[in-house]
């Protein structure tokens, strides 16, 4: 997968050189390119923002550098990327959306700052490539870079070969609409607290049942909205006893 990130702070993307994403890049599974938006400015101050039309606080990102940046992106590869524009006004990111994006060959991120990007940039881009405004959640960040990092992590770990053991994807929170059961490792007793006995029993069926029950309980306690949204056939007779 190719990933381009356009930002006024390319340094913010440094974590994409580390850990499993860094390794996937070295192995050629990911081609990640961070671009400084200011390279598409033409004034001495390399200006990317201006006062909002209609007045109000803060500054808005000017359309011209963004237009040129996205033109350059289109000229740099085959076809067009799927453009993601982080915004608190976008579609809320989820594991389902991560799976949808993991099937794309090319993603690009337009990271806003200040009060955001002139809306005409998004309208213009949408005539040339698929565009999705995407929100991390109902809060406001300084810029889109952290959203891009989050989305890149969630998406790329679903790409075959990026994660060492793909089985861990199956058991994770949100994969089946529920939260995962709590995890434990050795020692069996730590500061007077025991690992739940069943997990040390070696009895696979009992362990699976315990994990399923814990998953249901944890979801009911922390995220009852997930249970409300789950289809009726997501539960079996034994689940209903929990």
By the criterion CB under 6 A, which residues form the site for ligand SAM? 86-89, 111-113, 115-116, 135-137, 139-144, 147
CB of 207 to ligand SAM, least distance (A): 38
- Cα distance between residue 110 and residue 86, in whole Å: 7
Helix (H/G/I), strand (E/B), else coil: 94: coil
Give the nearer residue to ligand SAM in terms of CB position, either 8 or 24: 8
Give the nearer residue to ligand SAM in terms of CB position, either 118 or 216: 118
User: How far, CA to CA in Å, does 72 sit from each of 107, 168, 203, 208?
Assistant: 15, 38, 58, 52
CB of 73 to ligand SAM, least distance (A): 17
- Cα distance between residue 240 and residue 37, in whole Å: 54
CB 2 within 8 A of CB 79: no
Give the nearer residue to ligand SAM in terms of CB position, either 145 or 219: 145
CB-count burial class (<10 Å; 0-12, 13-18, 19+) for 127: exposed
CB 216 within 8 A of CB 242: yes
CB of 144 to ligand SAM, least distance (A): 3
Helix (H/G/I), strand (E/B), else coil: 174: coil
CB of 123 to ligand SAM, least distance (A): 16
- Cα distance between residue 197 and residue 231, in whole Å: 32
CB of 81 to ligand SAM, least distance (A): 17
Give the nearer residue to ligand SAM in terms of CB position, either 65 or 116: 116
Give the nearer residue to ligand SAM in terms of CB position, either 99 or 146: 146
């Amino acid at each position: 997968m190719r990933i381009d990130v356009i930002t006024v702070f390319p340094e913010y993307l440094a974590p994409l050189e580390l850990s499993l994403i860094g390794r996937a890049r070295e192995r050629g599974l990911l081609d990640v390119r961070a671009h400084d938006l200011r390279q598409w400015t033409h004034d001495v101050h390399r200006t990317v923002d201006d006062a909002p039309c209609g007045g109000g606080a803060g500054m808005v990102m000017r359309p011209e550098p963004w237009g040129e940046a996205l033109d350059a992106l289109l000229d740099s590869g085959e076809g067009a990327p799927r453009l993601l524009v982080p915004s608190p006004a976008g579609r809320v990111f989820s594991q389902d959306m991560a799976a949808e994006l993991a099937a794309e060959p090319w993603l690009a991120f337009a990271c806003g700052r200040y009060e955001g990007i002139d809306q005409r940039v998004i309208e213009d881009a949408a005539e040339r490539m698929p565009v999705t405004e995407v929100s991390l959640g109902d809060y406001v960040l300084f810029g889109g870079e952290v959203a891009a990092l989050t989305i890149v992590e969630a998406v790329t770990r679903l790409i075959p070969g990026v994660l060492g053991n793909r089985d861990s994807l199956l058991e994770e929170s949100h994969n089946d609409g529920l939260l995962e059961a709590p995890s434990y490792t050795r020692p069996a007793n730590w500061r007077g607290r025991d690992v739940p006995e069943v997990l040390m029993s070696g009895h696979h069926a009992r362990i699976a049942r315990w994990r399923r029950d814990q998953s249901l309980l944890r979801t009911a306690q922390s995220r009852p909205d997930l249970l409300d949204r789950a289809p009726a056939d997501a539960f079996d007779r034994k689940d209903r006893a929990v």
